């Protein structure tokens, strides 16, 4: 309905009326032209043929011709108009149904039902492309909404523990059960730092997955990236008593943003350190594989069950033996690494022989050309 409350004609009705007017105009034009020109041409041909008839006979012949011409044209026009209107009606209904299905699906999406899809109306390439484009848009919106809901649920879950810790210690101080000493402040500070890391990590992975990161690629020596990441992490490894071995082969250059790839390697080394007990070892390697440069991080830690491997790079995913929240991670470090690697045109994967057999992470980046 219009804003004034008047019901406006549907598209199919308008299209059918327009086509009817065009057909009627064509039929009337044909009838007028035939009436005005046909008899005169016929008369001229009779004269040129020197047909010997009386004036009455000639007039009768011409009238017969005119009558036959008009009747024939009239029947042909009516038949053609009827057939054309039938085809137009059918086509208009098909077009209306197609537009209606798009409108209905759009209304469902607008109301939050993102599973609505538009079937191919079979009206040609343009309508097929319209349906496919709309369905792709609906799928993207559905995926975005699913991600948003899951992220909010995961955020609420992840924030619950540090907030509960802060609340419990503050309540204990208020009740006089605990004093606001150094240990209490350290627990509260650790919880607030965990919340800060969580907020920073969420912002980073969201920007990476949405292509909003500022990436400045440049040719970088692959071994230098790995060596720098190992140097940054070495003190943490020494503090925990975990050996960090570095095996770097000449691998040439990669065209990457060095800060972003340093973040990837740093996340992988931190993840390996969290899941490797004191006395264990983590190895960082770099080598050339055809048109790719491959980085590997191998640890001798807890390992991962096979059913958990496909989900290691999901946001907030944890398994009892794979990503235990008591190790202190935000749960999205590997998600950030995956998003950054894919933003550089590379890939990342993880393998493990199971619990107790350690885990290997592989990062492949395109080698710089030239």
Yes or no: say if 27 and 75 are a contact pair by the CB < 8 Å rule: no
Tokens of 232: 């940054």
Rounded to 5°, angle at Cα 13 from 12 and 16: 85
List strands edge to edge, sheet with 359-366. Answer: 243-248, 281-289, 292-299, 359-366, 347-352
Specify the higher pLDDT residue, 247 or 88.
247
Q: How confident is the model at residue 343 (pLDDT cuts 50, 70, 90)?
A: confident
In tens, the pLDDT along 33-42 reads 767 666 666 6
The percentage of the chain sitting over the pLDDT mark of 90, rounded to a whole number, equals: 19
Yes or no: say if 213 and 328 are a contact pair by the CB < 8 Å rule: no
State yes or no: pLDDT of 166 exceeds 80. Answer: yes
Q: Write down the pLDDT at residue 1.
A: 45
Instruction: For residues 356 and 278, give the distance between their C-alpha atoms in angstroms, rounded to a whole number.
Output: 14
Yes or no: say if 348 and 278 are a contact pair by the CB < 8 Å rule: no
Please report where in the chains the tokens 């137009």 appear, as a residue.
Answer: 88
Specify the higher pLDDT residue, 230 or 19.
230
For 49-77, what is the mean pLDDT?
Answer: 68
Instruction: For residues 55 and 240, give the distance between their C-alpha atoms in angstroms, rounded to a whole number.
Output: 125
* Residues facing residue 107 across a β-bridge: none
**CATH 3.30.565.10 domain span(s) along the chain:** 218-366
Instruction: Please state which CATH class domain 131-209 belongs to.
Output: mainly alpha
What does the mean pLDDT of the chain come to?
78
The percentage of the chain sitting over the pLDDT mark of 70, rounded to a whole number, equals: 74
Instruction: For residues 62 and 244, give the distance between their C-alpha atoms in angstroms, rounded to a whole number.
Output: 111
Which pairing describes strands 243-248 and 218-221: parallel, antiparallel, or unpaired? unpaired
Closest CA to 131 of 144, 117, 113, 141: 117
DSSP structure class, residue 7:
P
Q: How confident is the model at residue 2 (pLDDT cuts 50, 70, 90)?
A: very low
CATH, domain range 218-366: 3.30.565.10
Yes or no: say if 272 and 284 are a contact pair by the CB < 8 Å rule: no
Q: How confident is the model at residue 242 (pLDDT cuts 50, 70, 90)?
A: very high
State yes or no: pLDDT of 325 exceeds 60. Answer: no
Please report where in the chains the tokens 């759009």 appear, as a residue.
Answer: 106
**CATH 1.10.287.130 domain span(s) along the chain:** 131-209
Yes or no: say if 103 and 12 are a contact pair by the CB < 8 Å rule: no
Residues counted in the chain: 370
**How close are the terminal C-alpha atoms of the chain, in Å?**
64
pTM: 0.54
Tokens of 48: 């040129």
Closest CA to 274 of 312, 218, 231, 326: 326
* Residues facing residue 363 across a β-bridge: 295, 348
Instruction: For residues 195 and 191, give the distance between their C-alpha atoms in angstroms, rounded to a whole number.
Output: 6
- In angstroms, what is the C-alpha Rg of the chain? 39
Instruction: For residues 266 and 298, give the distance between their C-alpha atoms in angstroms, rounded to a whole number.
Output: 13
User: Would you state the torsion angle of the CA atoms of residues 314, 267, 191, 179, taken in this order, to the nearest 10 degrees?
Assistant: 150
Tokens of 320: 């009892």
Of 102-106, 135-139, 293-297, 352-356, the least confident: 102-106
Tokens of 302: 């807890």
Q: How confident is the model at residue 224 (pLDDT cuts 50, 70, 90)?
A: very high
Instruction: For residues 97 and 123, give the distance between their C-alpha atoms in angstroms, rounded to a whole number.
Output: 11
Of 6-15, 94-103, 204-213, 320-329, the least confident: 320-329
State yes or no: pLDDT of 147 exceeds 80. Answer: no
Instruction: For residues 51 and 56, give the distance between their C-alpha atoms in angstroms, rounded to a whole number.
Output: 13
For 109-135, what is the mean pLDDT?
Answer: 73
């Amino acid at each position: 309905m219009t804003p004034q409350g008047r019901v406006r004609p549907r598209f199919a009705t308008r299209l059918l009326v327009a086509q009817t007017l065009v057909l009627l105009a064509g039929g009337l034009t044909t009838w007028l032209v035939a009436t005005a020109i046909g008899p005169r041409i016929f008369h001229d041909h009779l004269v040129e043929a020197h047909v010997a008839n009386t004036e009455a006979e000639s007039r009768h012949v011409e009238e017969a011709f005119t009558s036959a011409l008009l009747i024939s044209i009239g029947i042909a026009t009516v038949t053609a108009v009827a057939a054309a209107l039938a085809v137009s009606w059918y086509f208009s209904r098909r077009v209306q149904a197609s537009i209606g299905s798009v409108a209905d699906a759009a209304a469902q999406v607008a109301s939050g039902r993102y599973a609505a899809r538009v079937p191919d109306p079979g009206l040609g390439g343009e309508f097929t492309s319209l349906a496919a484009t709309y369905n792709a848009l609906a799928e993207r919106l559905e995926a975005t909404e699913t991600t948003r809901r899951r992220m909010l649920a995961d955020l609420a879950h992840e924030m619950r523990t540090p907030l509960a810790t802060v609340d419990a210690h503050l309540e204990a101080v208020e009740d006089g059960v605990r004093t606001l000493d150094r240990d209490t402040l350290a627990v509260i500070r650790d919880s607030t730092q965990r919340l800060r890391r969580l907020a920073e990590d969420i912002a980073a992975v969201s920007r990476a997955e949405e292509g909003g990161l500022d990436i400045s690629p440049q040719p970088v020596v692959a071994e230098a990236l790995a060596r720098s990441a190992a140097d940054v992490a070495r003190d943490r490894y020494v503090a925990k008593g975990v050996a960090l071995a570095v095996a770097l082969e000449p691998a040439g250059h990669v065209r990457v943003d060095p800060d972003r790839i340093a973040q990837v390697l740093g996340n992988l080394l931190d993840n390996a350190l969290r899941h490797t007990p004191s006395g264990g070892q983590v190895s960082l390697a770099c080598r050339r594989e055809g048109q790719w440069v491959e980085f590997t991080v191998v640890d001798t830690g807890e390992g991962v069950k096979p059913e958990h491997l496909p989900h290691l790079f999901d946001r907030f995913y944890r398994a009892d033996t794979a990503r235990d929240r008591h190790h202190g991670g935000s749960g999205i470090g590997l998600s950030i690494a995956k998003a950054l690697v894919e933003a550089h045109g590379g890939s990342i994967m993880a393998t493990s022989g199971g619990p107790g057999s350690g885990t290997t992470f592989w990062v492949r980046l395109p080698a710089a050309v030239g």
